[in-house]
Structure 1
Amino acid sequence: MHSTPDFRRRRLSVLLAACSLAGMVGALAPVAARAEAAPWPNRPIEMIVAYAPGGGTDLIARLLARHLEKELGATIVVQNKPGAGGAIGFAELARAAPDGYTVGFINTPNLLTIPIERKTTFTWKSYDLIGNLVDDPGAFTVSQSSNIDSLATLVKYAKANPGAVTVGTTGVGSDDHLAMLLFEKASGVKMTHVGYKGAGEVRGALTGQQITIGAINVGEALAYQKGGTPLKFLGQMGAARAVLAPNVSTFREQGYNIELASLRGLAAPKGLPEPVRKKLVAALAKVVADPQFKQQADAMFAPLRYLDPAAYAAELERGEAGFRQLWKEMPWQEK
């Protein structure tokens, strides 16, 4: 059977169209492959902070974000997810995709105590640890106008007025809350707990004279003082006097064997691709070693204590064991 000229022309057109389409697909294939293999990071990174703006974690997170942006070559957006003593932010970080585009701060003891006191969707093992940055001792502070000027005068007043002393903290199970309970036990007084979403809110309540005591970490309190907040220290909970506050005596020096601090470190959802994890770890280590970063952290009174992922994990494991034992002896959950 012979084909007609019209049939041959139509067949030729179909063949030419097919060749053209194949050429387009061939040309697009390398582009798609290049997009798929684009090196991390190639879009903005979210940094979750589990507390309200204005607290110590929020301040160091925003400073760190600026420095990490230079190291990683990507925009980093700080997102505050406060509430439930940090549990809301910790849970959101744990369930995020482990692709390197979500990182966040994890804080002790809340990260360790919350899963002990109630059922959660996270533990400290839900994350790939990037490294710890800050180790900030707890402290008791009061308004500058307060007649209370030491732990001794606090005890005297609290014994004379059971339950009248209100203590603002960043939530149930926080280092501040545990310090209050330990102090009650050691001194034989009864105080009233008031939880907030972050240290910034505690500061506001203290300056507004809505609470008697602000349980605020040393670095945070010093930053607030520098910013003009009229508060004074009653004591701090480090093992020794803080370098940033050498004139503030420890609880131990005043006769109360209480030592508590807040570790603040960077983590990501468990399961990061190894090249991404290594890049994040290396970038954080480089930032912490940068003299400019150290100077800026000192200026905001952030007591730096860098721990690499292995050392950080060991510290969290020890802390968890200690808080589990404390829970057996003195459950801190409020009724």
Structure 2
Amino acid sequence: MAFALRLPGLSGLMGAMLIGAVGTAPSHAEETVEAFYQGKTIDMIIGYSSGGGYDRYARLVARHLGQYIPGNPEIVPRNMPGASSRLAAGYIYNVAPQDGTVLGTADQSLSVAQAMGESLELDASAFGYIGSPTMENNVLLTWHTSKVSSVDEAKQIAIPIGATGGSTSSQYPSIMNALLGTKFEIVSGYPGGNDINYAMETGEVDGRGSVNWASLKPLGWYEEGLINVLVQIGLQREADLPDVPLLYELASTDEDEQLLRLLSAPTAMGRPIFTTPNVPEERLQALRKAFDEMVADPAFVQAAADEGLSVIPLSGEHLQKTVNEILATKPEVAARLSAFIGVSD
């Protein structure tokens, strides 16, 4: 039996969402990609509130991508925060039309959550990945007024850290508490990164459990000494942060390093843009081609720079490969990670 989930304030989206099984998209063999998109509007569903890194990159893509898609459809960004972007991901997977008229962005660690056994009601490998406009490490940070400015100090002093929910913003401090002995007190439930930033600035929390370095740099906080970057999460250090340790480098055993490498792998997803399952192959390829053309256009790169955003693009094919590799993780490694940070049954 299906049920209705009403989301007030989402103009242009279905107010009543029928959650059901994923169907197959209708065949449009006789219709060209250009003819299909001519006069169409594409919804860009953003799994977080406005102002954060996912939102800023998704809106940048929404402003530019349509001119590279045959038929030049308009792309309209729509925020759908909730459950650390799981609400948006679930909508795109289970409810949205599977015809290439809905794009979205959500937590880069969805595939890790799935590998660990989190009950997502979706298969991350079934999304049609379009590309990511950037790829940079995530970091865990504290505000300059905090008593904690290093991992060693975090092992001695308990401080509140802001998080959106079951995403990297809670996973990173949780695993650091379990494996490294830090004493982070995780405060979950913030709608998005911008909300955590405000809470940090006002003293409601001491720091932020996760933020992408690409979206943090433009704020100038690091150069101004307003934040302490305790650790970076990725597989190689950022050029801007040569002295900040990678999370997996802090492991004391080979088993812990494997686990922390798995946790760090989603940084290779950047800020993923994807569409629903079952989009006709010719439309999926057209969307991927349009994305690749967009990120290679100096005009787009300049538009990103004007907003203080870097462009380090990843193709849809790369994202798909990364998701498949994460989901192929040895069960014992994924099970151990889930035992430390927990999953939603």
Superposed pair shares fold, TM > 0.5: yes
User: CA separation of 1:169/1:333 partners in 2, compared to 1, >3 Å: closer, same or farther?
Assistant: same
Name the structure 2 match of 1:288: 295
Superposed, 1:1-335 pairs within 5 Å as: 38-72=35-69, 73-94=72-93, 95-113=95-113, 116-158=116-158, 165-172=159-166, 174-195=167-188, 196-215=190-209, 216-225=211-220, 230-243=226-239, 245-246=240-241, 249-251=244-246, 255-256=250-251, 258=260, 260=264, 261-262=266-267, 263=269, 264-298=271-305, 300=307, 302=309, 304-322=311-329, 325-330=332-337, 331=339, 332-333=341-342
- Greater Cα offset, 180-189 or 45-54: 180-189
3-state secondary structure, aligned to 2:220: helix
Q: 1:323 to 1:40 in 2, by over 3 A?
A: farther
3-state SS, counterpart of residue 130 of structure 2:
strand
- Amino acid aligned to 1:281: R
Name 1:30's counterpart in structure 2. none
TM-score (structure 2 length as normaliser): 0.74
Secondary structure, in 3 states, of the residue corresponding to 2:38?
coil
Structure (1/2) with the larger helix percentage: 1
User: How many Å separate the matches in 2 of 1:185 and 1:130?
Assistant: 35
Q: Give the aligned partner of residue 4 of structure 2.
A: none
Q: 91-100 vs 256-265, which deviates more? A: 256-265
- Map Cα deviations across residues 184-239 of structure 1 (whole Å, 9 max, x no partner): 13322333222222211211111121112212222232233369994332232233
Residues 115, 327 of structure 2: 8 Å contact kept:
no
SS class of match (1:192): strand
In structure 1, the partner of 2:11 is: none
RMSD: 3.0
Shift of 1:140: 1.5
The aligned amino acid for 1:277 is L
Equivalent residue letter for 1:184: N
Residues of 1 paired with 2:231 and 2:221: CA distance?
18
**Distance in 1 separating the partners of 2:225 and 2:98:** 40
Q: Is the 8 A contact 1:130 1:281 kept in 2?
A: yes
- Contact kept? 1:46, 1:78, Cα under 8 Å: yes
Residue 146 of structure 1: how far off its partner (Å) = 2.1
Q: 1:20 is matched with which residue?
A: none
1:117–1:333 contact (8 Å) kept in structure 2? no
Q: Which runs of 5+ in 2 are unaligned?
A: 1-29, 252-256
How many angstroms does 1:79 deviate by?
0.7
Q: Are the equivalent residues in 2 in contact too, given 1:51–1:57 (CA < 8 A)?
A: yes
Aligned twin of 2:17: none
Q: Which whole-Å deviations, capped at 9, do the CAs of 1:31-78 have from their partners, x for residues lacking one?
A: xx99xx944232211001111111111000111111113223222110
What whole-Å deviation, never above 9, does each CA across 1:274-332 have from its counterpart, x for those lacking one? Answer: 33222211110001112232344356565544333332221111222349544411422
* Other structure's SS at 2:51 match: coil
Of residues 234-243 and 264-273 in structure 1, the stretch that sits farther from structure 2 once superposed is 234-243
Q: 1:38 to 1:296 in 2, by over 3 A?
A: closer
Does 49-58 or 289-298 show the bigger shift?
A: 289-298
Over 3 Å counting, the alpha-carbon distance change for 1:122 and 1:292 in structure 2 is same
Q: For 2:77 and 2:330, how far apart are their aligned partners in 1?
A: 30
Of 252-261 and 199-208, the range deviating more from structure 2:
252-261
**1:327/1:166 CA distance change after superposition, 3 Å:** farther
Q: Which structure 1 segments of 5+ residues have no match?
A: 1-32, 159-164
CA contact (8 A) 1:112 1:323 kept: no
Q: Secondary structure at the match of 1:157?
A: coil
Letter in 1 for 2:244: S
How many Å separate the matches in 1 of 2:329 and 2:207?
Answer: 26
TM-score of the pair, normalised by structure 1: 0.76
* Cα deviation 1:5-56 (Å, max 9, x = unaligned): xxxxxxxxxxxxxxxxxxxxxxxxxxxx99xx94423221100111111111
Percent identity between matched residues is 20
8 Å Cα contact 2:53-2:193 kept in structure 1: yes
2: distance between equivalents of 1:241 and 1:116?
A: 26
Larger radius of gyration: 1
Amino acid at match of 2:203: Q
| Distance in structure 2 (CA, Å) of the matches to 1:145 and 1:154 | 14
**CA deviation map 1:135-176 (0-9, x unaligned):** 232212111222322222222224xxxxxx22212321x223
Report the count of equivalent residues: 293
